[in-house]
Amino acid sequence: MKEKIDELKQAFRYAKTDKERDAIDVKMQQLVNQNPDEFAQAMVDSAKETADEVTNLALRHKLESVIPAISLVYIAKKYFNKSDAWLYQRINGNVVNGKPAQFTTHEIEQLKLALTDISNQLVSVSISL
């Protein structure tokens, strides 16, 4: 069921006419009629995935202006004890093992602390000049 909904969601994104959208609506209604409970759960799962995608896009957008000015290699190693590839995968939402890589809530907090720490170090050096 989830796969069918994902296919229809993708088709809806690229639909150009009302006729195409109406056809997708009919197919969605058929899925609802087949198994309302399974449909509802699949829609909830799909909505959660969409929310995660939006969160990751927002994170990437927020970091975009500072990425050229900071060393992600340094952040990955010092604050996460991971490779720079690991960090880039999460920032960019790259597909790893069949699904988009993303930060956990704890890792986002760790990234915030890392950026704050680096910021404090820069201010300290700036003051001392």
Residue 81 has pLDDT above 90, yes or no: yes
**Contact yes or no for 100/56 (Cβ under 8 A):** yes
pLDDT at residue number 121: 94
Give the total residue count for the chain.
129
Q: What digits encode the pLDDT tens for the residues 16-53? A: 899 999 998 999 899 889 988 888 888 898 888 888 77
- Whether the pTM exceeds 0.75: the reply is no
Report the C-alpha gap between 85 and 77 in whole angstroms: 11
Segments making up each domain of the chain, as ranges: 1-64, 67-129
Percent with pLDDT over 90 in the chain: 37
* Nearest C-alpha neighbor of 76 from the set 118, 46, 13: 118
